[in-house]
Structure 1
C-alpha cells in the first residue's frame, strides 16, 4: 500500500516526544523460526519475491504481552497446531504469567477468521452475573454504591467464561487435543516464571485486598514475603486445574472438584454462587460487526462489547474530513469530538443483546454518523454536558490482548481480562484460580461511574445470567493489499487505542509504529482530553484549549497494544508489541517451503 506522506506527517504530529525504535526479527533459526528478545518491540519476516502471488501468508506471526506466551503459541504451531490451537496456548499461558491482567477466573472475547470456510466469528466468553447480584446488593445503607463490594472479593466476581472458551476453541476450531495446547501453560505454572516489575508494583497497589484471603496468600505469599522482581512464582494448584481442564474439558472446571472448591471459597468469603450457575455457563458465538473505513473492511466486536459500535461511529464520523490535510490541533479536535459522541451513546444504549434491545444497526449506520458529524463545529469543542444524558428515540483496564495469523490464513484477535489489577484479589484455595471483579462493569448504580470513570444505565444493569458491557475490541482490518489483527487492554481506553491503531495503519505505518503510537482519549464524561506525556506538542495543547477543550497532556503511558500484519503484495509478515510493556514479544515462524 502506498504511503501518503501528508497523512503520515499529520499522524506523527501527534507523536512529539516519542521515538520509534523498531527491533527487527533475528535471523532464521534451524527450526525455521525467527526469534526476538523478550523485550522486542517487533518481529518481521519475508520470503522470496516469487512467492508474492501466494494467497496465504508465508508463516505464522504472534504478538502478545509476554514472551513466554508468544513462545507457547509458537511451540504449539511447531507441534502441528493451527492459529486456534496457538490461541489456546497463548491465552492459558497469559493466565499463568499475567495474573495482574487476566486468567481462567475471568473472561474474554475471541474474534476468529477460519480460512477454510472464509467465516468470521466472534466467540463471546464474557463473564455472567450470578442470580444474587441484584443492584440492591451493591448499595450501602445510604443507597450509595459500595465500592469495596463491587471491586473486591466474592461479590465482585462474575461466573468465569475463559475456561469454556478454551474448550470451545479446541473442539470447534483447533487441530490438537486440548491437553496438548494447554501443556506449555501447565509446565510454566508448575515450574514457575520470574516475577517482573508490573506484577510486583500491582501487588503493592492491591496488597491490602490480596492478603485478606487465605487462598491468595498461599499463592503470592508462599515464601512469607510479597512478590519481588526476579523471584520465581510457582502455581502448582493452577497447574493441576489446567490439567483437569485438559483432561475433562468443560467438566474439569465447571463441575467436579474444581467447581466445588470455587463454590466453597465464594461461600466462605460471604458470596453467593450456585453449582447450576457454574455448570450452566456457555460461550456464545455471535456475528461480528462489520463496516467500511476508506479502503478497509473492519471486522470487530459486537455487543456485549461496546468497542465495535463506538469505533464504527467514530470512524464513519471522521470519514467526512481528510485528516491528512489537517494540522495536529484540528485533527485532534475532530477525533476527540467523534469520541465524545460515541462514548455518550455507549453510556446510554449498550448492554448484553440477549437481555436488552441494542440499536446496533441505527448506531452504526452512515446516516447516523452523518447526523453526528453535522453537530461538530470545526473550531469549537462542544461541552459534554450539552450532549443529553437521556436516551433519544432510535429506531433500531487492566486486561491483555494477543494477535495471531497463521500460514493457512487463519486469524485470531483475542482480548481477555479479570478487570482491575489482580481482579477481585480472591484466589479460591486449592485451585490457583484468581477470580475476576467484572461485576463493576455493570451499571450497579445507574449514573454512577465505575472504576474506569464510565457510567451506565438500565441497559447495562445486572441480571442473572447477563453479561456485563465491555470495552474489549479485538479487531481485523483488511484491504486489497494488507490484513492486520489488533487489540489492546486499557479499560474504557481500549476502544480509542484500537481506533488510533486503525488510523495509523490507514496512514501507512507498520505494526511496530502502530504499537508504539502515542495515545489520546476522550470518553464524554469526564469532559477532558487525556494524552500521554509528549503525545501533543505544547502549541497543539494551546490551540485545543482555545477551542474550548480541557486537556490533560501529561498522563502516564497506558495500554499494551499487540498487533500482527500480513502485507499481501510483498507476502511479508510482521508483528508489533507495545514498547510500554518490556516483557511483550512479537515473533514470526516461517512455514516450510511448499
Structure 2
C-alpha cells in the first residue's frame, strides 16, 4: 500500500492557506519548507452576511468562503463538515454519521435529517455477546462488529438536493484541496494521536496515515491526506452512489469483514458482518423534529433515535416549573443538575430507534409529565441515583413506575458546526465517528476512519427483567445523545447551538440554553461557562473550573458529589441580534478552542 499521509511543510503565508477554500492547488508543497500558519482562530465574531462556527479554523474559513460566494447555510454546512473530516478525522468524517437540523427561512419551517449509522442486516440482539456474556467494551470498539453503515455522505447529498444552491462537487473541492495541501498539526491533534498510538499501530493503513515515521506527527508540522482527497474527488465526480456502491463500498465491507491487522500486534480484532447490500440499502430519512415552548421560545431538536431533543426538552419543561432567573447561583445549578438527572432516567428507559420501538416522544415532552417528574425534586436535597424512570403514558405525580435502565457508554469525540446565511437560513449539525479515532481502522487507500457507533447499543439488557429499547437489531439505529438545537422567538431564529461529548452533549446544550435564556448570559459566556454533567449517576462529572465555583458549596450542602475532569464538550453556536447582526460563537479554550467568523464583520 502506498504511503498516504506524509509529514511535510509548505512555503506559504497565512492568507495563502486560508485561500485553500476558494482556489485550486497550484502544485504539490515543497518538502522541507517551513509550515504555513493556519487561518485566524477567534471565539466570537459579530457582523452581517452569514456566519460559521466550528471546532476548527480551516473548516470555518472554508464554510465562510462558500457564504461569501453566495452559497447558503446548507452549502456552507456541507463544505465545513467535509473540511472537518480532514482536520478533525478522529471526531468525524465520511466513515460516520450525524444529525442535521435546518431552519428554512422561506417557509419558517424546521427540518431534521437523520444521518445516523445503521447496524447491518446480520446484527441481532447478541451482536456483542460471546457465550452469553458481553465482550469487553474496548475490544468491541476496535473491531468490525462496532461499525455501522455510514450516513454522512448520504446526509450531505440529501440536504443539498432539498435546500442547497451548490452541487456536491463544488462543496467538496475546498476540502479536497485542503487534504492534498495539508493542515498544521496542533497540540490537540498531537495529543489525540498519541493517546491512540498503540491502537493505530495495529492497523497498517492507520499507521501509515496517522503515525508517520512510526510516531505521532509533531506539533507545527503539516499533514496531508491525498487518499481522502481522491475519495472526495470521486464523490464529487460520481456522486455519493460511489460511496454506497462500487469499489469504495467493497473496500469498506472488506475492512469490516476482514480487518487488516499487523500480525505482530497483540490485539483481538473481531470481524463484522456488513455487506455491500447494507450500504446500498442505507437511508438518511427525515424525522419529525422535537418541539417545545419554553418561556415564550420555541426550541427545536432531534427526535429519536436521537435522545438529545427529548432529554433536553424534558429537562427544560421541568425547569419551566420554577423561576430560574430569580434564583441564586447555587439553587440554579441544583435545579439544572436535578432536571437532567430525572430526564436521563426517562431517556435510558424509553428512547430507541422509532422504526423498531414505540418511543413515547410526545408524552416525554408533555408539560403534564414534566410536572409529575418535577415533583421528585427537592430544592434542598439532591436525589439519590439511579432514579427510576417514570411512565409517560400513565404518569402520576412523583411517579417512578417506569423501571430502571442504566445508560450505555457513548464516545466523547464528536464535532458540531453551526451556519447561518444572509437570507436567515440556519443549520445546526452534529456529526461523529463515536470514540476518538472511531474503531481505529482506516479504509486502505481511501483515507478515512470507520466508526464504532454500534457500541452505542446496549450490549445486553442492562437491567435484567426491564425492557431495553436500545438493544441491537438488523438495520437498527443505535440511540444517540447528539443534540443539534435551533431556538426561535416569534417564529424567527434566535440562536442555534450544539456540542460534542457523548452523553454530556445533552447537559452541555441544556446548560447553554438556560444560561442564555434564563440567566442573561451572552452566547459566548454560555458556551464558555464551567460545566457539570449529571446523567442519573451517583456522582456528577464536573470540570475542575466548575468545582471551584463559590456556588458549589451550596451544592455540596445539598448532597451533590462530583468527579472532576479537565473539559466537557466543545460547543459552537450562532445568534441573531435584534439589530439584524449575527453573532458566531465557538469554544474559546477547551481542546484548544474553535473558530467563529462572519462574512462582513462589524467595525
Alpha-carbon contact 1:109-1:126 (below 8 Å) kept: yes
The SS at the match of 1:499 is helix
- Out of 500, 504, 520, the position equivalent to 1:508 is 520
Measured at CA, do residues 532 and 539 of structure 1 come closer, stay the same or move farther in structure 2, by a change above 3 Å? same
Is this contact kept in 1: 2:146–2:452, CA < 8 A? yes
Check whether the contact 1:139–1:146 (CA below 8 A) recurs between aligned residues.
no
* 2:133 match: secondary structure: coil
CA distance in 2, matches of 1:445, 1:87: 37
The aligned counterpart of 1:305 is 306
Deviation string for 1:455-499 (max 9, x for gaps)? x96201111111110000001112248610100001100011111
Match of 1:316 in 2: 317
Is 1:181 paired with 2:193?
no
**Cα displacement (A) at 1:546:** 2.5
1:590 deviates by 3.1
1:331 aligns with 2:341: no
What secondary structure, in the 3-state scheme, does the structure 2 residue paired with 1:305 have?
A: coil
TM-superposed deviation, 1:169:
1.9
Change (3 A) 1:484 1:392: closer
Question: What per-residue deviation string (whole Å, max 9, x for no partner) do you get for residues 498-525 of structure 1?
Answer: 111111221332222122111111000x
Taking the aligned partners of 2:468 and 2:305, their CA distance within structure 1 comes to: 14
The runs of 4+ residues in structure 1 deviating greater than 4 Å are 536-539
**TM-score, normalising length: structure 2:** 0.85
Q: Residue 521 in 1 paired to residue 511 in 2?
A: no
2:480 paired residue number: 470
Are the aligned partners of 1:541 and 1:551 in contact in 2 as well (CA < 8 Å)? no
8 Å contact from structure 2 (residues 433, 450) kept in 1? yes
- Aligned partners of 1:67 and 1:583 also within 8 Å: no
**CA distance in 1 between partners of 2:593 and 2:341 (Å):** 33
2:388 aligns with 388
Match of 1:42 in 2: 44
**Distance 1:69-1:366 versus aligned 2 partners, 3 A rule:** same
Cα distance change on mapping 1:351 and 1:434 into 2, 3 Å:
same
User: Which residue of structure 2 lines up, in the alignment, with residue 92 of structure 1?
Assistant: 82
Partner Cα distance (2:347, 2:40) in 1? 37
- Greater CA deviation, 255-264 or 86-95? 255-264
Aligned CA distance change for structure 1 residues 37 and 581 (closer, same or farther; 3 Å): farther
The 5-angstrom pairing of residues 49-64 of structure 1 reads: 58-64=48-54
1:404 maps to 419
**SS in structure 2 at match of 1:388:** coil
Question: 2:137 matched to 1:147?
Answer: yes
Aligned equivalents of 1:591, 1:259: Cα separation in 2 = 43
Cα 1:462–1:142 change in 2 (3 A) is: closer
Provide the rounded CA distance (Å) in 2 between the counterparts of 1:551 and 1:540: 14
- Secondary structure in 1 matching 2:541: strand
- 1:483 corresponds, among 494, 502, 508, to 494
Q: 1:258 to 1:501 in 2, by over 3 A?
A: same
- Measured in 1, the distance between the counterparts of 2:121 and 2:221 equals 40
2:458 corresponds to which residue? 443
Selected match of 1:424 from 439, 462, 465: 439
Distance in 2, matches of 1:222 and 1:536, equals 40
- SS of the residue aligned with 1:298? strand
Deviation at 1:309? 0.6
1:415 match: secondary structure: strand
C-alpha distance in 2, partners of 1:80/1:448? 53
Structure possessing the higher relative contact order (Cα contacts under 8 Å, 6 or more residues apart):
1
CA distance in 1, matches of 2:132, 2:124: 17
1:78 lines up with 2:80 in the alignment: no
Q: Does structure 2 retain, via aligned residues, the 8 Å contact 1:111–1:300?
A: yes
Given that residues 43 and 593 in structure 2 are in contact (C-alpha distance below 8 angstroms), is that contact kept between their aligned partners in structure 1? Answer: no
Q: Are 1:447 and 1:457, in contact at CA under 8 Å, matched by a contact in 2?
A: no
Separation of aligned partners in 2, 1:427 and 1:287: 34
- The answer as to whether partners of 1:39 and 1:582 remain within 8 angstroms in 2 is no
Q: Post-superposition shift, 1:119?
A: 2.0
Q: Is the Cα–Cα contact under 8 Å of residues 45 and 601 in structure 2 kept in the other structure?
A: no
The change in CA–CA distance for 1:72 and 1:99 in structure 2 (over 3 A counts) is same
- Compute the TM-score of the two structures, normalised by the length of structure 1: 0.86
Contact 2:301 2:484 in 1 (8 A): yes
Aligned equivalents of 1:457 and 1:211: distance in 2?
A: 40
Structure 1 counterpart of 2:587: 578
| Secondary structure at the counterpart of residue 571 of structure 1 | coil
Residue 109 of structure 1 aligns to a residue whose secondary structure is strand
Once residues 548 and 213 of structure 2 are traced to their aligned partners in structure 1, the CA distance between those partners, rounded to angstroms, is: 48
Contact 2:117 2:149 in 1 (8 A): yes
Structure 2: state its 5+ residue gaps. 1-17, 19-37, 260-270, 396-411
Q: Is the 8 A contact 2:197 2:211 kept in 1?
A: no
Deviation at 1:292, TM superposition (A): 0.9
- Structure 1 gaps of 5+ residues are 1-28, 30-35, 46-57, 450-455
Q: In the superposition, relative to structure 1, how do residues 167 and 332 fare at CA in structure 2: closer, same or farther (>3 Å)?
A: same
After superposition, give the CA deviation of every residue in 1:177-232 in whole Å (9 maximum; x if it has no partner): 11001111111111111111122111221222211112212211344432221222
- Corresponding residue for 2:406? none
Question: 1:277: Cα distance to partner?
Answer: 0.3
Contact 1:522 1:530 (C-alpha < 8 Å) held by counterparts: yes
Aligned length: 535
What is the rounded CA distance, in whole Å, between the counterparts of 2:506 and 2:163 in structure 1? 27
Residue 493 of structure 1 is matched in structure 2 by 504
Aligned mates of 2:553, 2:343 — CA distance in 1 = 25
